[in-house]
Amino acid sequence: MHVLSIAGSDPSSGAGIQGDIKTFHALGTYGLSVITAVTSQNTSKFFGVEPVSPSLVKSQIRSVLEDFQIDAIKIGMVYNKQTIQAIYSELRKIEIPIILDPVFKSTTGGILQMENAFSDFKMLLVPLVYVITPNIMEAEKIANVKIESLDDMKKAAIKIQKIGAKNVIIKGGHFLKGDKVSDLLLDGKEFRIFSHSRMKFESHGGGCTFSAALCANIAKGKKLSEAIDFARIFTVDSMRNAAKIGRGLPITKTKNVIDEIENKLSEAISEFCVINSIYEYIPECQTNFVYSTSNPDSLKDIIGLEGRIVRTGKFVTVAGNLKYGGSKHVASAVLEMSKKFPSVRSGLNLKYDEKTIKNAISKGFKTSSYDRDKEPKIISEKEGSTISWGTKISISKLKTPPDIIYHKGGFGKEAMIIIFGKNPKNILGKISKIIT
Ligand code: PXL
């Protein structure tokens, strides 16, 4: 996953570009960066700022956009009008989700956005974004509403959405009972409140950590509310572990988080590609390999390749990145299977061959199949629903999960085998028996 931060440089590395890169890295994504301004500050004092010229901001953005596939973009500090206009002109036509973290002042009181840049910030950048992450003060300024209650937070969120941000999360309300801090999400039309205990001390970098973690999780294809849940826990944790490195405020400390599901699948894909003669089993439409979280609700809970495992001559290589929601077909089969057999969380498709099925049966594997020609018209007309239908039919009479489901194709449709298992390693074990 590649993510981009467009923000200011912070020499203390707690916030800004340097903070974002640390968070991106901790979450297993690759962080690209476009620097909008250079600040001079440490953990106790803010000394000054100089913006990067608008033409250099534009050319930095172009240089990364033309070279990398970028899965999400975070915008942080933008100092003046010219920078905002430059960013707007480069991003206004792209389809990549943008996370906008408004930054007006540093924790030590430095001005991070000029006052006369605010109207362009509001009218040009806010409408471009998938989600905006103001704190209470920033939300008051953007929405032009005084916030003194949870209701005011809701009003402000609605006003910010009217300016054009698709989703709004306002951080740091303290209007609930007890020692709780509440963040309010306006997700499309629905409100959701997230709350956590108040931190006992201030730290430097918390805001940037939150929006960068959100950006990394959106890049990974997580649903917005899940991405926020994760980002909150990750940020609170980094604040609790903040280290007093300088003489002033402690700096948030991010811990590397490894996604076990992604890791296991990635390892298994590497092993799959080097199985002897495996190229003979790759179908015309190529192969995908997926692994689901437990009890998935949708394809977004299942990680798979956005591209495919492809055959090139006698070699098998991986094209594309792993992403939650990255696979449609194999993931639909696993999703359907998991509704009846929750222990099944992984799947992989291979080329259909009668010999492969016979071999699997002789090795004691349980197979089931469906006939694509029997598919009702209303299902075949609905994009992506054939596999769910076929899987459901194939398991309707089964009491235990099958290892394999196959179909022999249909008009213009390639015959296919899907191997199922508890996890990717389990599938590799089955493959090694089936193909020998
Ligand atoms: O946390 C907001 C922020 C963003 N960007 C830069 C900063 C700060 C806070 O100090 O210095 C460059």
**Cα-to-centroid distance, 237 and ligand 1 (Å):** 19
Q: Give, for ligand 1, the residue of 10, 133, 249 to mutate: max count of ligand atoms closer than 8 Å to Cβ.
A: 10
User: Which ligand 1 atom lies nearest to the CA of residue 37?
Assistant: 12
Mean pLDDT of successive 10-residue segments in the chain (436 residues)? 95 95 93 97 94 98 94 97 98 96 91 97 98 96 95 96 97 77 92 83 87 94 89 90 91 85 90 94 97 93 94 91 91 97 98 96 97 84 83 96 95 92 98 93
Q: Give residue 403's pLDDT.
A: 98
**Cα-to-centroid distance, 184 and ligand 1 (Å):** 22
Please work out whether the CB of residue 350 comes within 6 Å of at least one atom of ligand 1.
no
Q: Name which CATH class applies to 261-434.
A: alpha beta
**Ranges in the chain annotated CATH 3.40.1190.20:** 2-258
| Residues 6 or more apart whose Cβ sits within 8 Å of residue 349 | 283, 287, 288, 329, 330, 416, 417, 418, 419
Reduced to 3 states (helix: H, G, I; strand: E, B; else coil), residue 402 is coil
d(CA 303, CA 293): 8
Strand ranges for 289-399 from DSSP E: 289-292, 302-305, 308-312, 315-319, 322-324, 346-351, 367-370
Please work out whether the CB of residue 7 comes within 6 Å of at least one atom of ligand 1.
yes
Q: Give residue 379's pLDDT.
A: 77
d(CA 22, CA 67): 22
Reduced to 3 states (helix: H, G, I; strand: E, B; else coil), residue 180 is strand
Q: Are 288 and 305 in contact (CB under 8 A)?
A: yes
Strand ranges for 164-312 from DSSP E: 167-173, 180-187, 190-197, 289-292, 302-305, 308-312
Q: What is the DSSP letter of 199?
A: P
Q: Give residue 116's pLDDT.
A: 97
Q: Give, for ligand 1, the residue of 107, 138, 238 to mutate: max count of ligand atoms closer than 8 Å to Cβ.
A: 107
User: Which ligand 1 atom lies nearest to the CA of residue 208?
Assistant: 1
Q: Give residue 169's pLDDT.
A: 97
Closest residue CA from atom 4 of ligand 1:
16
**Ranges in the chain annotated CATH 3.40.225.10:** 261-434
**Cα-to-centroid distance, 199 and ligand 1 (Å):** 19
d(CA 214, CA 212): 5
Structure tokens belonging to residue 357: 């099925």
Please work out whether the CB of residue 14 comes within 6 Å of at least one atom of ligand 1.
no
Please work out whether the CB of residue 402 comes within 6 Å of at least one atom of ligand 1.
no
Give me the CATH topology for the region 2-258.
Answer: UDP-N-acetylmuramoyl-L-alanine:D-glutamate ligase (3.40.1190)
Total-model pTM: 0.73
